[in-house]
Amino acid sequence: MSARAVFLDRDGVLNAAIERGGRPHAPDAVEQLAILPGVPGALAELRRAGFLLLVVTNQPDVARGATTRAAVDAFNDALRAALPLDGVYCCFHDDADRCACRKPAPGLLLEAARAWDVDLSRSFMVGDRWRDTEAGVAAGCRTVFVDLGWRERRPERYDAKVSSLPEAAAWIIEGGAR
């Protein structure tokens, strides 16, 4: 039987995003890694419920020249050392690249699903931006929007709206996974 997974956006869901003008941005360095409250416990609960934990994250600052792939990889390595994650999948492109991996395209989820034999119809995408929920819908997952009040386009489609990963985990485990 194929596995179930919770696909997780990175910045704003697992770790604190850097807010600039009401919009979230990725931290610039490992030293800025701040795991959000309740995240380790929420991930442990999801793991106990039988879910793989797979991060899918857009990191366009690489394409924009604002950071390097090595810096993003170092950040992801620190995140994996701090949290029980099964995999981290990154898109390093910007919108102009029109790639299949930049959310809202489902490419990262599809790649991870192939690698881990995931049944997307029994899986979830948890994110704090419209791109996350749209990618989840496009991949065939149920979606959870973590509403952090960013001043930007809001998602139009999602199965649940919460304010944190612990709330998302509770919804998935208590009813969303049925």
Please give the structure tokens belonging to residue 1.
Answer: 């039987």
Phi, psi values for residue 35, rounded to 5°: -65, 135
Question: Taking residues 121-147, what's their average pLDDT?
Answer: 98
Taken in order of first residue, the domains within the chain and their CATH numbers are: 4-176 (3.40.50.1000)
Residues 169, 152: Cα–Cα separation, whole Å = 25
**CB atoms closer than 10 angstroms to residue 175:** 9
pLDDT above 70 (res 143): yes
Active-site residue, 9 included: yes
Q: Flag whether pLDDT at 65 surpasses 90.
A: no
Structure-token pair, residue 114? 């192939």
Q: Is 59 left (phi over 0), alpha (psi -120 to 50) or beta?
A: beta
Q: Do residues 12 and 138 lie in contact, with contact meaning Cβ atoms separated by under 8 Å?
A: no
Q: Mean pLDDT across the stretch 67-71?
A: 92
CA angle 107, 109, 114 (to 5 degrees): 95
Three-state DSSP at 171 gives helix
Residue written as tokens 């699903």?
113
Task: Convert the pLDDT of each residue in 11-36 to its tens digit.
Answer: 999 999 999 888 899 998 999 999 99
Active site (annotated) includes residue 11? yes
* pLDDT confidence of residue 175: 79
Q: Tell me the average pLDDT of the chain.
A: 95
Beta bridge partners of 125: 7, 143
What would the 3-class secondary structure string for 58-115 be?
ECCCCCCCCCCHHHHHHHHHHHHHHCCCCEEEEECCCHHHCCCCCCCCCHHHHHHHHH
Q: Over 80: is that where the pLDDT of 177 sits?
A: no
pTM higher than 0.85, yes or no? yes
> Catalytic residue among 9, 86, 94, 117, which?
9
Q: Quote the tokens at residue 79.
A: 């995140």
The single residue of 11, 119, 147, 159 carrying the catalytic annotation is 11
Phi, psi of 134 (to 5 degrees): -65, -40
Percent of the chain with pLDDT strictly greater than 70: 98
